[in-house]
Amino acid sequence: AQTIHQWPVAEIKAVGSPLSLGCTIKGKSSPNLYWYWQATGGTLQQLFYSITVGQVESVVQLNLSASRPKDDQFILSTEKLLLSHSGFYLCAWSLGGREQYFGPGTRLTVL
C-alpha cells in the first residue's frame, strides 16, 4: 500500500528565515506530485506540480520554490520567509488519473 509522509509535522519560524519542507511517497512508482497551501480556515491552492524527477512547474508565485530530487521525494523551500507564508502545506500525489491523494500536512507558523 502507498504511504505519504510529510516532514516536519509543524514548524515555527521567524520572518526572514529559510524553510525546507519535505514529502515522501512510498509504494508508487513515478507518481505526479503536487504542493498545496491552505490558509487557516481557507481553501486549498495549488503551488507546484511535478511529473518527473528534476522537473517542477510553478502554478502561483508566492516566493517559494520546489524541487524533486528523487522519484519519491518533493521538497518545498524558500530562503526568506514572509508572514504570509503561514498556513498548512499539503503534498499530494496522483498516478495520471485526475484524483489526488493528500498527505497529513505541515503546519507552518511564521512570527
Partner 1 sequence: GDSVTQTEGPVTLSEGTSLTVNCSYETKQYPTLFWYVQYPGEGPQLLFKVPKANEKGSSRGFEATYNKEATSFHLQKASVQESDSAVYYCALSGLSGGSNAKLTFGKGTKLSVKS
Interface contacts to partner 1, rule CB under 8 A: 32, 34, 42-46, 49, 51, 57, 59, 90, 92, 94, 97-105, 107
When the beta carbons of 10 and 15 are compared against partner 1, the nearer one is 10
20: cell is 525546507
Least separation in angstroms between CB 19 and partner 1: 19
Query: Minimum distance from CB of 24 to partner 1 (Å)?
Result: 14
* DSSP helix, strand, coil percent of the chain (3-state; round to 5): 5, 60, 40
Closer residue to partner 1, CB minimum distance, 12 or 15:
12
Question: Comparing C-alpha atoms, which of 76, 88, 97 is closest to residue 32?
Answer: 97
Q: Which is nearer to partner 1, 2 or 17 (CB)?
A: 2
Q: What is the spatial distance between Cα 19 and Cα 96, in angstroms, rounded to a whole number?
A: 29
